Structure 1
């Protein structure tokens, strides 16, 4: 069971991080209109290296979201941010929705 689509009221744009090159970070083509639920609150999270950092936006989206850490995200208000950490929430056999949670700068 996936998170119900009608709960994902916002639309965001994601440029998936594809790695670094000699010219800096490389991103995939932008994916526009991604359904999401965005909460712009300040929280402390851990980045992929385990350091505590501040997240100013949390995003809930479908479980198949392609948004690795370091991806560029454009929020509904036009602010561009970067994905800090990604969590895939699953509960096989339980009647709770599966989703992807992204913490962004």
Structure 2
């Protein structure tokens, strides 16, 4: 879970650059695509290893998002990617921290 927490922390640092940076720096959307892949893969592994502990719908949402980004990268919507990075990732980050504390 520490790998996932670190990845989500990296995503938060990049998102903190703001929407304008996201819109004007081509590297940021690509970075969020890569982070979506990593977050989703780690979420899948955790949910498969301990389904009872990782039963929150956020785990499967992260996995499905990863599958879409990886397999349909040509159809990834920038606005949706920004929402993932600024809303969904922080929600998952909070969940990871709650589970780490318990």
Normalised TM-score (structure 1): 0.27
Report which of the two has the higher share of strand. Answer: 1
Report which of the two has the higher share of helix. Answer: 2
Normalised TM-score (structure 2): 0.27
Q: Give the structure with higher Rg (CA).
A: 1
